[in-house]
Structure 1
Amino acid sequence: MFPSVPLLHLILVALTAHIALAGVRITTSLYALSMHASEFTVGILIALFSLFPMLGAVAAGRLIDRIGILRPMMAGSIAMALGCALPGIVDGLPVLFLATMLIGTGFMVIQVAAQHMVGAASAAEQRASNYSWLALGFSVSGFTGPVLAGLIIDDAPYFTAYLVFAGVAAAAFVLVASGKLSEIHLHRPARHTETGKALDLLRLPEMRHIFIVGMLLSSAWDLFTFVLPIHGARSGFAASTIGFILGCFSTATFLVRLAMPLIARRLSEWQVLTGALVLAALCYAVFPFVRQPLSLMVVAAILGLAVGSAQPNMLALLHHVAPSGRAGEAVGIRVTIGNACQVFLPLAFGGAGAALGLPVVFWSMTAMICAGLPIAWRKTRLSKAE
């Protein structure tokens, strides 16, 4: 079933903003490497995309619970456009530190708003389907951004790519300012019937389990987008080749999300998440042995199938379990945890990659994912019993 036209418009806004984020992330990695930055420096830059989102996502969720999504999404798109434009105007490595913070923070606001509103505007029986459509949008943008960046960088200076993505972020602002989002009708009123600290939500076992498994699968996704440009550049791949490998990953996330309504008829949310953990662990275990572009595309696609299946199921579970009136805050906590991983993992694994080599990074991620399997397996058995 298709979402309503206003919800499709919301998904288009999120897709447009994510094109800018996904494109600028790979552009920033390759631009920094072209200036002979170390893996650790690249790790810092990628971490800065997530630093302020980590610190502000819960507050953004609470604000969105109170005032709605329009003004926050407008502010987020302006911050993204400004952050993308800065490196297009000012050369050098230092400006990238400010740009990444602006872009990451702006996208966080749009992400929290979109994920919350899709849940709040959906009936319980349509929520997973609508989240699948949102996830499909992110898959399209996850493919378009890196491929577009690679094609531009191969034929034009880096500042051109930054200015193109500034224009994409500006398009997101225009879509928000058009007023279509005000036509979204809430299925569940956005009011506070419960209050409390964010940590109270973490004390709920069901939510805690969702957050842990979500953190692991989000880390598997984010580490891949961080490590692949470094691995590809060190292997001598062209920027367009790296972009196409990332594109294969995103295409796989799109396909699995397209099939999610059929999968959901046969498997519970926790069964899907357990399978995703297993596949992701296997992919990271074999990455050190995969060195050719074609084989990397295959493994990247399998990893995309795994992590791409996770987000719609996690969001549906989260919105179902969250206390009434605190769904935006719950989404903010999820985004905070995900961004915390995006801050610390690039720093830790960037340092490890520089000191010990990328195989250590891949196998460390394998071990982390495997640590979450007991939780997911236990929840799968309980879901079968029910």
Structure 2
Amino acid sequence: MRGALFALIVCQVGLHACLQGARLAVPLSVLRMGHDAWSVGVVMMMFAIIPALFAISAGRLADRRGYHFPVRIAAALSLSGTVIGALMPSFAGLCTAAALCGGGAGFGMIAIQRTASRFARNDADRLRVFSWIALAPALAALLGPLLAGTLIDHFGFRIAFVGLAMLPVISLLVTCAVPHEVPVAIDASVRKKYSVRELLRMPGFARLLFINWLVSASWDVHGFALPVLGVERGLSASTLGAVLAAYAVASMAVRLVIPFIAEHLPRRHLLPGALALTCLVFALYPLLESAWAMAGCAAVLGIALGAIQPAILTTLHNVTPRQHHGEALALRSMSVHLSMMGMPLIFGLIGASVGAAALFWVMAVSLGIGSLEARRLAAAHD
């Protein structure tokens, strides 16, 4: 089980590091070609478009075929994206590369998370497993841009895309360490019973999707509004980088700690408590002037949000039928990617009209509502 779980982590690191590296290389390449900021926005949107449109199909495929076939498709998408980025350095080619790399990471994430849940024997085990799995995107966010940036500086964009192409190849190679799952034939009447519409009607599932969307929006608000707030406070770029680093380090640290204390965590209160803590941090952020205080808030936010993702995934697997976990994960992925496509524009409009502080406070109120919803969800499935 440990070897298979390690293989799942490596697989997701490969696919997501390819995505994160492409998220650096593609817009830089677009700017080098002389395109404007609007073109960068278009190409960045392309990273989310395939996961948003085809997540449900990917989830159903994972439910039918298990882990290996969907992950091979995911790796093929990512590999194709990097090859197109290397061979077709035009705006259309880079848009295609972005869409394929985004699709590969999104499809792979659904299959990986679904398979990881099969290694868990109980709730504590599931929380432990998903904490390990949640480390993969954080590691990928460090590895991918570092690899892409280094290769771009020393060898150019073409070699950078070739280097990124090696990452999905690694993901393919480690699939052999994951045991094959016997395909389960799902009766047509059962599939009809648990269509997407029926899943959304299940007790707690729509509420959980709302909470998941809030968490995704809070990540986006923090990444968007913190630099704006920092500039208003007169903080330098390096200081803002240190504040964001405090968040990243704390988020990774809590995901490393949870697997060792999962048995002792109050799982019924973990999600509501983390959301309430996040609400408090967002309410305090605009009141702070000191960089040290903001770094402290960022670290607390990293702890809260770092604990939320494993808790959400654990709860999702508890409130949905086992044979439709892939489809449920796909709905979660689709909501996140749709948010990624539209929310930055909304944040920009709000921030431009009323300031960054208002964004933090609006998000704080929303997270407070989310904490109450999480308490109701926990009470309903106690």
Q: Bin the TM-score by the shorter chain.
A: 0.7 to 0.9
Equivalent residues of 1:20, 1:168 under 8 A apart: yes
Kindly tell me: are residues 352 and 23 of structure 1, through their superposed partners in 2, closer, same or farther at Cα, counting changes over 3 Å?
A: farther
Partner of 1:283: 281
Partner of 2:140: 141
Partner of 2:168: 172
Equivalent residues of 1:192, 1:324 under 8 A apart: no
Partner of 1:198: 196
Identity %: 29
Q: Distance in 2 between matches of 1:288 and 1:376?
A: 25
Query: Structure 2: which 5+ residue stretches go unaligned?
Result: none
Equivalent residues of 1:42, 1:350 under 8 A apart: no
**1:218-233 pair list within 5 angstroms:** 218-225=216-223
**1:1-386 pair list within 5 angstroms:** 3-25=1-23, 37-38=36-37, 44-84=42-82, 86=84, 96-124=94-122, 126-146=125-145, 152=150, 156=153, 160=157, 163-164=159-160, 167-177=163-173, 179-184=175-180, 190-192=184-186, 194-196=190-192, 197-225=195-223, 246-288=244-286, 297-354=295-352, 356-380=354-378, 386=382
Kindly tell me: are residues 230 and 43 of structure 1, through their superposed partners in 2, closer, same or farther at Cα, counting changes over 3 Å?
A: farther
1:70-127 Cα shifts (integer Å, max 9, x gaps): 2322222232234345556666766553333222111111100101111134333532
Which structure: larger Rg? 2
Equivalent residues of 2:10, 2:174 under 8 A apart: no
Equivalent residue letter for 1:192: I
Q: Distance in 2 between matches of 1:293 and 1:25?
A: 28
Equivalent residues of 1:43, 1:347 under 8 A apart: no
- Provide the TM-score with structure 2 as the length reference: 0.81
Aligned pair count reads 375
Q: Distance in 2 between matches of 1:131 and 1:7?
A: 10
Kindly tell me: are residues 179 and 41 of structure 1, through their superposed partners in 2, closer, same or farther at Cα, counting changes over 3 Å?
A: closer
1:261-312 Cα shifts (integer Å, max 9, x gaps): 4553344334111122123223333444668776554433322211110111
* Structural RMSD (CA): 3.7
Equivalent residues of 2:75, 2:108 under 8 A apart: yes
Kindly tell me: are residues 182 and 376 of structure 1, through their superposed partners in 2, closer, same or farther at Cα, counting changes over 3 Å?
A: closer
Shift of 1:64: 1.4
Equivalent residue letter for 1:79: L
Q: Distance in 1 between matches of 2:28 and 2:356?
A: 17
Shift of 1:228: 5.8
Kindly tell me: are residues 379 and 182 of structure 1, through their superposed partners in 2, closer, same or farther at Cα, counting changes over 3 Å?
A: closer
Kindly tell me: are residues 91 and 349 of structure 1, through their superposed partners in 2, closer, same or farther at Cα, counting changes over 3 Å?
A: farther
Q: Distance in 2 between matches of 1:366 and 1:32?
A: 36
SS for the counterpart of 1:192 is coil
SS for the counterpart of 1:64 is helix
Shift of 1:241: 7.3
Q: Distance in 1 between matches of 2:229 and 2:156?
A: 23
Q: Distance in 1 between matches of 2:87 and 2:229?
A: 28
1:179-229 Cα shifts (integer Å, max 9, x gaps): 51453567xx74425312211011012222222212211222244345567
Shift of 1:25: 3.3
